[in-house]
Structure 1
Amino acid sequence: MTTAPIEIKEKTYTVKEWLELEKHSDIRHEYYYGKLIPMAGEAKRANILAGNIKKHLDDPLYEKGFLIYDHDVKAEVVPEGIYRYPDLVAAPIDDDEDEYIVKQPVMMAKVASEKSGFRDRVKKRKEYLNIKTMKYYLIVSQNEMWVVLHSRGSTGNWETQYLTEPEDVAELTDFGICISLADIYKRVALKSGN
């Protein structure tokens, strides 16, 4: 049995109203200061990339006291203001205040498409790097072997690495985790010419 689409009105929603709509909607919506932003469906390639990353991070993060969630779990970026659906988000195991929202993200990963690339590299990067608990933001291109890793250094400043070769490694040093681009892009058919 299919459900009727939820009608989203042009109005300013409260977080509570948005959460209730999300429980019954067939499509996900990010929340941006009362406005609902519909999320497009995910390409198979993006799903494989996110799965590869999760596979390599899941057990090592758990051993350090963290859980990693995929694209259906919301991340609180600004309390009562911005809530996003990153492709992956890691948080302490005890971040269990809310069943649907991660409130203490330490790592987020986004698989960027041609359409979302600018938004993920600029707007969301700025938002995510301002979260006090964040240590890593990983942006992965689904069209070419290209990864950007933003890491918060010991001084609190952000450092950026650009990775483009199969042997390049994204190092999440605070967690003792390294993942090569060969592992991230395993079983992914990139577009020709890339």
Structure 2
Amino acid sequence: MKPFYEPFVPGQLYSVAEFLALEQQAEDRHEFYDGQVWPFPADTLRHNLLVQNCSLPLFARRKQVGLDVFSNGMLLEVIPGGYYTYPDVVIRDFVPCSGLEYVVQCPKVIVEVLDPLWAERDRTWKCVHYRRLESLQQYVLVSQTQQFVESYWRTAAGEWRYEAFMKPDDVLDIADTGLQLMLREIYDEVAVPLLQLQFPDIRETIK
């Protein structure tokens, strides 16, 4: 199973060390998968605002609950030596910073703001890989086109459950951290319409 787009240099293979060296010098971000380097889609203004709305409230409260909160620019190790990518928000248990670190490991929560062009990839391809991470407790998807948030969360028995949020007062619990986000907080001052559920008009059928 591969990403949905073409590699940076088709046919050329890199080691993880070569990829990390490339990223430190590159102007644009890239993913690493199975030895190939893949261009990473650029952010929109709306995307960036939604990422901030998700990450900043959690970042402000991180010390109270012993967490690290990273957004946008941190590379995540999904498969050691095999898959590295840039989630929009990563939450993990607090780990003291020991120096110049470029890669985050052992995420507890991952948040992706869905780009309309890549939404299917985040729902399927990334979802499969993320949920294989033993440390991951929750995977959150935030829509840019309507106020709609989806959460996949792991039970104590190791089973995955799904929950959707579509009302402004809906509250998203962030794994077992004690932190929460309201839907209205996520979409605050971002021009995204409320979800409009379309139901069939049955009046004609009951005349």
TM norm. shorter chain > 0.5: yes
Does the aligned pair in 2 maintain the 1:95–1:102 contact within 8 Å?
no
Pick one of 160, 163, 167 that aligns with 1:161: 163
Partner residue, 1:39 = 40
Q: State the AA in 1 paired with 2:42.
A: G
Partners in 2 of 1:61 and 1:127 — Cα distance? 26
Partner residue, 2:143 = 141
Does the aligned pair in 1 maintain the 2:138–2:175 contact within 8 Å?
no
Does the aligned pair in 1 maintain the 2:137–2:175 contact within 8 Å?
no
Partner residue, 2:83 = 82
Does the aligned pair in 2 maintain the 1:60–1:175 contact within 8 Å?
no
Does the aligned pair in 1 maintain the 2:88–2:113 contact within 8 Å?
yes
Does the aligned pair in 2 maintain the 1:95–1:104 contact within 8 Å?
no
Partner residue, 1:53 = 54
Please list, as runs of the form range in 1=range in 2, the aligned pairs for 1:169-180 lying within 5 A after superposition.
169-180=171-182
Does the aligned pair in 1 maintain the 2:148–2:195 contact within 8 Å?
no
Superposition deviation, residue 62 in structure 1: 2.7
RMSD: 2.0
Structure 1 segments, 4+ long, off by >4 Å, are 95-98, 191-194
Partner residue, 1:105 = 107
Q: State the AA in 2 paired with 1:187.
A: E
Does the aligned pair in 1 maintain the 2:74–2:104 contact within 8 Å?
yes
> 1:129-153 deviations in whole A, cap 9, x for unaligned?
1100111111101111111111111
Partners in 2 of 1:90 and 1:173 — Cα distance? 10
Q: Give the SS at the match of 2:61.
A: helix
Q: Give the SS at the match of 1:132.
A: coil
Does the aligned pair in 2 maintain the 1:67–1:91 contact within 8 Å?
yes
Q: State the AA in 1 paired with 2:138.
A: Y
Superposition deviation, residue 179 in structure 1: 0.9
Does the aligned pair in 1 maintain the 2:147–2:194 contact within 8 Å?
no
Question: What is the TM-score normalised by the length of structure 1?
Answer: 0.90
Superposition deviation, residue 53 in structure 1: 0.8
Gaps of 5+ in 1: 1-6
Name which one, 1 or 2, has greater alpha-carbon Rg: 2
Change (3 A) 1:181 1:103: same
Q: Alignment identity in percent?
A: 29
Question: What is the TM-score normalised by the length of structure 2?
Answer: 0.85
Partners in 1 of 2:139 and 2:178 — Cα distance? 16
Q: State the AA in 1 paired with 2:67.
A: F
Gaps of 5+ in 2: 1-7, 197-207
Does the aligned pair in 2 maintain the 1:95–1:103 contact within 8 Å?
no
> 1:149-183 deviations in whole A, cap 9, x for unaligned?
11111212111111111111111251011211100
> 1:108-127 deviations in whole A, cap 9, x for unaligned?
11000111110011111111
